[in-house]
């Protein structure tokens, strides 16, 4: 197994196993930097072979070795967090407390990222947990306070970052990345201002710097009905506009990306990517 030196600038993507958007995003961001874009899954960080933290003249630092990569806070430049579940070992460690710094558990990296001063899209909480562990009514309440109307019925429950949805005719997905809002069903098409404002308010109210929202037109002009939300939106559907927003949020260069490799491994994407 090759362990990278960790001396060049690193951008980190955390995802669940078998996450096509995570794989696709890593390759799209790698085209925009001469540094390294590392993809680690929740499974890999939960079996990290090394997790160290210390203090020197420059302040607090951390270093984690997982999945064949060494991630160091000194060279880390930005993080995209798409982990929406807690590995059983990680959750067990959080409940026991005091054992969460043990090597072999994913909790240290996620907890340290909570206080890391660099840009993190969907920062883990103080306990190192990420994803949606809040009930549906909590999301519904914040959606209504953000200007959405509620669907006729909403099923309780759900995990892995997705709020269960009802069948809504005409519903569409959008993705909020920072202050940007992009349509996922028709990339490049301008999202109506009335919907953009509601989506920004909901993301801000729920503390999500990257959030997928499904909404349907209401019966009144300018009305939007909240259908679902996901902390792990399908980024592939958003195409180039979404990648550009993520790159800006992470401080990556906005120069034209390099041409993809002759044998790309990312999922195919088709559609209008004009902004």
| CB-based contacts of 62-68 (< 8 A; 24+ apart in sequence) | 62/108, 62/109, 62/112, 62/116, 63/6, 64/108, 64/109, 65/3, 66/40, 66/106, 66/109, 67/38, 67/39, 67/40, 67/41, 68/1, 68/2, 68/3, 68/4
Quick one: which of 243, 235, 248, 218 has its CA closest to 184? 235
Beta carbons within 8 Å of 129's beta carbon, 6+ residues apart: 86, 90, 91, 94, 110
User: Is residue 227 predicted with pLDDT exceeding 70?
Assistant: yes
What are the pLDDT digits (tens) for 108-166? 898 899 999 999 999 988 777 776 667 888 899 999 999 999 866 544 444 444 555 55
Instruction: Answer for the pair 217, 226: CB distance below 8 angstroms, yes or no.
Output: no
CA 251 to chain centre: 16
Q: How confident is the model at residue 71 (pLDDT cuts 50, 70, 90)?
A: very high
- The pTM score is 0.80
Q: In what order do the strands lie in the sheet with 76-81?
A: 36-41, 10-15, 76-81, 120-121
What are the pLDDT digits (tens) for 73-114? 999 999 999 987 654 444 444 444 444 444 433 458 988 999
Tokens of 85: 């579940």
What are the pLDDT digits (tens) for 172-202? 899 999 999 999 988 778 899 999 999 999 9
pLDDT given at position 158: 41
Residues 70 and 10: their CA atoms lie apart, in Å, by: 10
Rounded mean pLDDT, 7-34: 93
pLDDT given at position 111: 87
Q: Domain boundaries in the chain?
A: 10-130, 136-231+233-237
Q: What Å distances lie between residue 155 and 64, 144, 162, 170, CA to CA?
A: 39, 16, 12, 20
Task: Write the CATH number of the domain with boundaries 136-231+233-237.
Answer: 3.30.470.20
Task: Write the CATH number of the domain with boundaries 10-130.
Answer: 3.40.50
């Amino acid at each position: 197994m090759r362990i990278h030196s960790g001396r060049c600038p690193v951008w980190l993507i955390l995802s669940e196993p078998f996450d096509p958007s995570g794989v696709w995003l890593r390759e799209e961001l790698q085209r925009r930097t001469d540094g390294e874009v590392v993809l680690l899954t929740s499974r890999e960080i939960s079996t990290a072979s090394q997790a160290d933290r210390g203090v020197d003249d420059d302040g607090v630092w951390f270093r984690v070795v997982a999945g064949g990569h060494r991630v160091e806070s000194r060279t880390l430049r930005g993080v995209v967090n798409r982990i929406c579940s807690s590995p059983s070992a990680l959750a067990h460690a959080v409940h026991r407390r005091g054992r969460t710094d043990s090597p072999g558990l994913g909790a240290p990296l996620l907890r340290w990222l909570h206080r890391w001063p660099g840009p993190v899209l969907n920062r883990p909480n103080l306990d190192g947990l990420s994803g949606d562990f809040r009930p549906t009514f909590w999301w519904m309440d914040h959606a209504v306070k953000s200007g959405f109307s509620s669907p006729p019925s909403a099923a309780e429950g759900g995990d892995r970052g997705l709020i269960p949805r009802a069948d809504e005719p005409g519903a569409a997905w959008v993705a909020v990345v920072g202050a940007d809002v992009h349509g996922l069903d028709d990339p490049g098409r301008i999202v109506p201002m009335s919907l953009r404002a509601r989506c920004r308010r909901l993301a801000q109210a729920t503390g999500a710097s990257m959030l997928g929202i499904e909404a349907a037109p209401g019966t009144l002009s300018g009305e939007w009905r909240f259908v679902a939300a996901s902390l792990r939106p399908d980024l592939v559907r958003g195409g180039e506009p979404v990648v550009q927003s993520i790159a800006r949020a992470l401080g990556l260069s906005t120069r034209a990306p390099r041409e993809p490799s002759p044998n790309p491994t990312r999922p195919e994407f088709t559609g209008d990517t004009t902004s």
